[in-house]
Amino acid sequence: MRIALFTETFLPKVDGIVTRLRHTVDHLQRLGHTVMVFCPDGGLREHKGARVYGVKGFPLPLYPELKLAFPLPKVGKALERFRPDLIHVVNPAVLGLGGIYYAKALNVPLVASYHTHLPKYLEHYGLGVLEGVLWELLKLAHNQAAINLCTSTAMVQELTDHGIEHCCLWQRGVDTETFRPDLATAAMRDRLSGGKPTAPLLLYVGRLSAEKQIDRLRPILDANPEACLALVGDGPHRAELEQLFAGTQTQFIGYLHGEQLGAAYASADAFVFPSRTETLGLVLLEAMAAGCPVVAANSGGIPDIVSDGINGFLFDPEDEQGAIAAIQRLLANPAEREILRQAARQEAERWSWNAATRQLQDYYCEVLADGCLPLAA
């Protein structure tokens, strides 16, 4: 089939959504489908055999790493030339609304997917009063689709509770070849710890942004002053975090990719993840694939991945002492930590990108077989 994918973010940006999309595009092409990606222009014109159509945009004021790209008429003309059998919009916000419009105009079935929990982000940018309005806008957009895919059971339930229809689970996926335990190295541990490789080493990977609540890691370091923390990634909140963590053994590593990122996961003693806004938390699966025990907030899609006391620890996101206690238990018990490492890897091995993409293919086929069109068509 011919699939047009509309997304508000794509390569060269680095985040969990882009990771899922680039693997999805790769595996859809391997399965014999033809994919065309419509996204904000990042200079890329092709990915794994799929054409990438970049739309000029401008940085989002509150989040410069994201670009707002508007679906100008030339997008519609490119789509008409592509002749899609199906349009899939990812987190429709600006460019994705064009995908919804053209699905109606071209009488093409529409699939939507939800990856970023935007209503919960608002409170971290002083806009919590708009949460109800945003849910209404999301409902209006997503209810044009024949099916709405969510990446965790918690998000299926939450979207359904807010009136979004036809919600289904799109299973998680992880690259267990790039992320694996044997990538651990003394050199990477030395780098992440700032030259203190024998000290307990905590790791965070992801955007350095307000909604990730990285500031909640500071009390953990205060309670464990011998521990080192490595923050891998970058983002708009970095300067504030550098001030907040001044005086602690915290290293700002910047972005790592491929096996270097795998080595970072594998070399740490624990992966700490305080965010309460995750629809899934792909970095958790990557850490687990590398055999790194996870300590994470019991919120959003995270409990779908982490089984408390089996392959990691969950803590109440409102309880600061719970996170501290979980870290201290993990660091104080090397034998238990090793058991968690093995269980984390075993859990990750259950989820491949091939299986996740075959499930997506089945959803596409179901929509096409049913002749499902956008509800307002």
| Residue 253, domain CATH | 3.40.50.2000
Q: Tell me: do 198 and 165 sit in the same domain.
A: no
Q: Are residues 125 and 187 in the same domain?
A: no
Say whether both 169 and 44 belong to one domain.
yes
For the chain, how many structural domains are there in total?
A: 2
Distances (CA, A) of 152 to 1, 74, 158, 266, 328: 26, 35, 10, 25, 29
Same domain for 117 and 185: no
In a domain? residue 111? yes
Q: Are residues 331 and 289 in the same domain?
A: yes
One domain, residues 36 and 87: yes
Domain containing 31: what range? 2-173+352-370
156 and 242 inside one domain: no
Based on the domain organization, do 139 and 18 belong to the same domain?
Answer: yes
Per residue of the chain (377 residues), give pLDDT as tens: 999 999 999 999 988 899 999 999 999 999 999 999 999 999 999 999 999 999 998 887 766 677 889 999 999 999 999 999 999 999 998 999 999 999 999 999 999 999 987 766 666 566 666 778 888 999 999 999 999 999 888 899 999 999 999 999 999 899 998 999 999 999 999 999 999 999 999 999 999 998 899 999 999 999 999 999 999 999 999 999 999 999 999 999 999 999 999 999 999 999 999 988 776 778 999 999 999 999 999 988 889 889 999 999 999 988 889 999 999 999 999 999 999 999 999 999 989 899 999 999 999 999 999 764 433 33
Where do the H-state alpha helices sit in the chain? Answer: 16-30, 73-82, 95-106, 118-121, 131-142, 153-161, 186-192, 218-223, 238-244, 258-267, 282-289, 320-332, 334-348, 353-370
Claim to verify: residue 131 and residue 194 sit in the same structural domain: no
Q: Is residue 376 part of a domain?
A: no
Q: Is residue 158 part of a domain?
A: yes
The token pair at 179 is: 């992320």
Placement of tokens 């089996």 in the chain? 310
In this structure, is residue 56 part of a structural domain? yes
Residue 18 maps to a domain? yes
Q: Are residues 262 and 242 in the same domain?
A: yes
Return d(Cα 166, Cα 294) in angstroms, integer: 32
